[in-house]
Chain A
Amino acid sequence: MKRPSDFPIPIPTVPTHLARLVRTKKVIVVCGAGGVGKTTTSAAIGMAGALFGRKTLVLTIDPARRLAEAMGIPAVAKAPTVLSPAGLSLPPGGELSAWMLDPAVVFETMIRSLSETPEKANRVLESRLYGHVSKLIAGMQEYTAAEGLYGFASSGHYDLVVLDTPPSRNALEFLEAPRKLSGFLDERVVSLFMPKGGGGLLRAASSLVSKVFTRIFGAGFFDELREFVGAFSGMFGAMREHAVNVRELLTSSDAGFVLVTSPEPSALAETRFFRGRMLELGVPLEGTILNRSYAYTRGLVRPGDPPAGASHDLAAAFRKLGPLADLELHRAERDRRLLADLLREAEGTFAIATPHLGNGLSDVAGLVALSETLVGEP
């Protein structure tokens, strides 16, 4: 059913600054607070890439798995799915794939590729602890995103990889995931669990750890953990190297970061906080997308008299529309001010508004239309 909110979406008649990113970058990372429409925006950016004739992959690590709803991709898949929905015609070279990053798959792939021998990989994968650890490890989701992103971006298979990050605070962890994970895998930590520690201070620390952990876990578990970390230890160097590479990729000119926000004060506060952190982390912020905004009022007119022959209810409803129209105009002004603020606050970046899409996108045509509002007419 067509809904009152299903508007013809206004499309910019010139290419936007985002269009340049979509044409030139190898990686676009989409960040922002939760609930602002990040996943849909990522899908639309991916669609824009494909429409520009680039081989594009959209990765999401959102556990809510919303990308699937917008793009019609399988919720569980071991590898990216090429999307070829009916009614979508892409130019030569253009291709759109999507994948819901599966931490277990990414982690297993990594262990297999980094282990010195297949036997060593199996020792880790078959360990009783592995099943739990790979699910529960702090920063796992973020590490997986970084690892997955790096894997796909460096494979040479895609021209553009668009990454949809988890909600804001976690997304910060995503940027720091390499560091955070290597914190757990730090040699100083690991050596505490190694059967034979180093000398002097380290041995003293190791004996303290052994005392503390045996006391709180019981002796059996400590030995098991020690065995597990031992099996893992051969991979630490390579994992750290990956982490460094991911960081290099994300801070290079091949990557661009885009912030998505809604006009809600809390989302804007998160956006500003996030922008500050991105500056600290040295990642290149390209621009901000003000999503679900009322900023566009082009083509909309104030309600006048009810149409001729209106029912009693419709006539009554029309009399009540005036204040709602004022409300929308008030919001439109607020959103235009917000856009101006966003531009002023981050010099040299862009700010784009996208309309409120009501219940969200339900089909490919909607996604194409949204991608056009983001990048302008081709």
Chain B
Amino acid sequence: MRAILVTGKGGVGKTTVTAAIARAISASGKRVLAGEVAAVGDSVSPLGLALGVSNAGLSPVPVAEGLDMVLLDSASGHRAFLGDVLPLRMLADAAMSSEAIRRFLSTAPAFPEMGTLYRMLELMRLRGKGQAYAYDTLVIDLPATGHALALAQIPGALLEILPGGPIVDAVKEGLVTLHDPEKTGAIVVTLPEALPVSESLELLDGIVKHGIAARGIVLNRVPTNPFTAAELDAVAAHFESAPSLLGSRHTGRIVRANEARARLVGHGAPLLELPELPFDDHDPASHPSLLAPHFSPRSST
């Protein structure tokens, strides 16, 4: 797996899951680059916070042995693209130094996403010492649902708009990489409540429709369940007539988590669960050991 795209709606712990997956894969001996799609004007990097990096920038910075992090921005992608397409480096530099062209590329239809995609491909192709890839795997934290699919939709949309030329060639190359299940996979992160699960299933459908392999669903913050199935049934039934006990709200969450789990299995993507730590405000996904078994060298190739 060369690229793992982590997606899901806002507030589900996507960023901490990205950080945990990146750490888990790098712990297996691979060289990993964790990336975050950076929007213009972002002053904080949530992924940087999750990885404990304060100097995250547009070029990779080291996080730990075998793990780097980078902010993926569209302008770097545009510059790289123009550099590859235009006959003279000078022309590309002149183009990017034109305020009007920069502005056009950062706001015109599909171009920001295309820049991000191109930057991702560039980092995937990056060679280290010798001929080996600088990074075995990129783990990318995509923006929240709605925009997550944008990256996947862009190539197709651009191909419809544009008749041909170098941009189309670059987009086609991007598509080949995105559609190759050996190279690219998506991870959908969700919470054990009804609405988040419905939205994740829609997102999963969308991802598969766009030809990207679904590598897994992460059910995050699953509440502790001390009950056996029979005990849960009994206590849930009791609360229907006597709901005013402390502990009944948590019990309700357990019931809903079970329903969520039942809806998420059988969609062709393995379901991974991360428990909620009861007395701690930290997200459990920051513990990569929980995810490590799913991203061992065997399952990640």
A216 touches B240 (CB 8 A): no
Binds B, one of A16-24, A150-158, A309-317, A339-347: A309-317
Which residues of A140-186 are within 8 A (CB) of B? 141, 166-170, 172-173, 176, 180-181, 183-184, 186
A180 touches B107 (CB 8 A): yes
Max chain A CB contacts within 10 Å: which of B106, B228, B281? B281
Report chain B residues within 8 Å CB of A266: 11, 13, 15-16, 46, 283
Q: Would you call A328 an interface residue if the criterion is a C-beta within 8 Å of the partner chain's C-beta atoms?
A: yes
Report chain B residues within 8 Å CB of A66: 195
| Chain B residue at minimum C-beta to C-beta distance from A306 | B238
A321 touches B11 (CB 8 A): no
Per-position binary interface string of chain A over residues 267-296, scored 1 when its CB falls under 8 Å from any chain B CB and 0 otherwise: 101100100000000000000000000100
Complex alpha-carbon distance, A324 and B246, angstroms: 7
A176, chain B: closest CB distance, angstroms: 8
A166 touches B165 (CB 8 A): no
| Chain B residue at minimum C-beta to C-beta distance from A36 | B11
| Chain B residue at minimum C-beta to C-beta distance from A321 | B247
Report chain B residues within 8 Å CB of A137: 107-109
Neighbour of A302 across the interface among B91, B108, B246, CB < 8 A: B246
| Chain A residue at minimum C-beta to C-beta distance from B92 | A212
Complex alpha-carbon distance, A216 and B214, angstroms: 33
- With contacts A181-B107, A334-B281 taken as known, whether A328 is within 8 angstroms of B86 at the C-beta atoms is no
Q: Would you call B143 an interface residue if the criterion is a C-beta within 8 Å of the partner chain's C-beta atoms?
A: yes
Q: Would you call B132 an interface residue if the criterion is a C-beta within 8 Å of the partner chain's C-beta atoms?
A: no
Binds B, one of A3-11, A44-52, A73-81, A115-123: A3-11
Neighbour of A217 across the interface among B167, B239, B251, CB < 8 A: B167
Complex alpha-carbon distance, A310 and B230, angstroms: 13
B247 touches A303 (CB 8 A): yes
Neighbour of B255 across the interface among A4, A176, A302, CB < 8 A: A4
Which residues of A206-230 are within 8 A (CB) of B? 208-209, 211-212, 215-218, 220-221
A356 touches B249 (CB 8 A): yes
Report chain B residues within 8 Å CB of A317: 227, 231-232, 234-235, 238
Which residues of A181-203 are within 8 A (CB) of B? 181, 183-184, 186, 188-189, 192
B244 touches A301 (CB 8 A): yes
Binds A, one of B23-31, B36-44, B59-67, B267-275: B36-44
Report the count of interface residues on B (CB-CB < 8 A): 89
Neighbour of B109 across the interface among A35, A133, A301, CB < 8 A: A133
A325 touches B246 (CB 8 A): yes
B98 touches A33 (CB 8 A): no
B281 touches A172 (CB 8 A): no
| Chain A residue at minimum C-beta to C-beta distance from B193 | A359
Max chain B CB contacts within 10 Å: which of A2, A172, A270, A320? A320
A327, chain B: closest CB distance, angstroms: 5
- With contacts A314-B238, A330-B279 taken as known, whether A221 is within 8 angstroms of B162 at the C-beta atoms is yes
Binds A, one of B133-141, B144-152, B173-181, B292-300: B144-152
| Chain B residue at minimum C-beta to C-beta distance from A181 | B107
Q: Would you call B161 an interface residue if the criterion is a C-beta within 8 Å of the partner chain's C-beta atoms?
A: yes
Report chain B residues within 8 Å CB of A33: 10-11
9 pairs of A and B residues whose beta carbons are closest in the complex: A34-B10, A5-B252, A35-B11, A184-B107, A325-B246, A324-B247, A4-B239, A317-B235, A218-B165
29 A-B contacts (beta carbon < 8 Å): A3-B240, A63-B146, A166-B146, A170-B143, A170-B146, A184-B107, A188-B100, A188-B103, A192-B104, A205-B98, A209-B95, A209-B100, A209-B101, A212-B101, A221-B161, A265-B282, A266-B13, A266-B16, A273-B44, A300-B245, A310-B238, A313-B235, A314-B234, A317-B234, A320-B226, A321-B235, A323-B226, A327-B278, A360-B194
| Known A183-B107, A321-B235; 16 more pairs at CB < 8 Å | A2-B240, A4-B243, A4-B255, A5-B253, A36-B10, A62-B146, A139-B107, A169-B39, A208-B98, A266-B11, A273-B43, A316-B228, A321-B247, A322-B247, A325-B246, A358-B256
Where the two chains meet, the residues of A that have a C-beta atom closer than 8 Å to any C-beta of B are: 1-8, 33-36, 62-64, 66, 69, 129, 132-133, 135-139, 141, 166-170, 172-173, 176, 180-181, 183-184, 186, 188-189, 192, 205, 208-209, 211-212, 215-218, 220-221, 262, 264-267, 269-270, 273, 294, 297, 299-303, 307, 310-311, 313-314, 316-318, 320-325, 327-330, 334, 356, 358-360
